Amino acid sequence: MIATRGIAPAACRGARLFCLATNSTFSPSRALPGRIYASDDGRDETVGRLESMTGSSQAETSVVENGQPQAAGKPVASQKEVNKFASTFAPRASGSTGKPNPAYKGSWLYTVFDVQAWAALVVGGLLSFNVIFPSDEPDIARLMGMWSIWMFTIPSLRARECTQREKDALNLLFLLVPLANVLLPFVWKNFGFIFTCDIVLLFGVFQWKGYWTQEEAE
């Protein structure tokens, strides 16, 4: 190797730029020595040192999520995005501020939310099928009945203490029910039909998430 002089300041500047590009910290005490050697192929040995210290610039990093290593470019799980969206726009669940949920299983508040959820489902069905406040024309009562699952049942079940499976199912339903209510009128403009589809969706998602089998196990 041939010793070269006078390029140490340039090498330090290059190291500083490299640190800025990689969001690392440049420390003068760790700067390369004032004498830099060039190999026979003309490649600065400093570059080799930097690459050996930081690894290849094109190497993929990995993250650990839920205890499992994942590749850096891997898309985030859809359930995580659903939970984040529902937590942002859905009514805040009781106890979501980090404090214990007062509507724990067995408490009177848990019973209130539970009864409210299923009572809203029954009343919504009667309104949708034109049993209560019958009318020959579409009106606000039938519209409220069609949306009762999304406006009352899901938020009430979400407000009480629930398992992770139930919470995931409710977060998913908070997104799917309004989507169904907007698209289904293009198939059939009937309040009872749309409400029935919401019921099927509600129990179908609970079954898919294993909520019923979990209750039986408990």
User: CB under 8 Å, gap of 24 or more: what pairs does 110-113 form?
Assistant: 110/160, 110/161, 113/156, 113/157, 113/159, 113/160
- In the prediction, which pLDDT does 69 show? 47
User: What's the CA gap between 96 and 86, in Å, rounded?
Assistant: 13
pLDDT of residue 163: 87
Among 173, 194, 176, residue whose Cα is nearest residue 124: 194
pTM of this structure: 0.57
Phi–psi pair at 184, nearest 5 degrees: -65, -30
- Distance between CA atoms of residues 45 and 116, nearest Å: 73
Residues whose CB falls within 8 Å of the CB of residue 102, separated by 6 or more in sequence, listed in order: 94, 95, 109
What pLDDT shows up at residue 67? 46
Residue for token pair 């760790």: 30
CA atoms of 155 and 91, how far apart (whole Å) = 6
Please state, in angstroms and as integers, the Cα–Cα distance from residue 57 to each residue in 54, 60, 102, 113, following that order. Answer: 8, 9, 51, 55
- Give me the tens of pLDDT residue by residue for the chain, a chain 218 residues long: 444 444 455 555 655 655 555 555 545 444 444 444 444 444 444 444 444 454 444 444 444 444 444 544 444 457 677 666 555 555 555 445 567 888 888 899 999 999 999 999 999 999 999 999 998 888 999 999 999 999 999 999 999 998 888 999 999 999 999 999 999 999 999 999 999 999 999 999 999 988 767 655 55
Q: What share of the chain is helix, strand, coil (3-state, %, to 5)?
A: 60, 5, 35
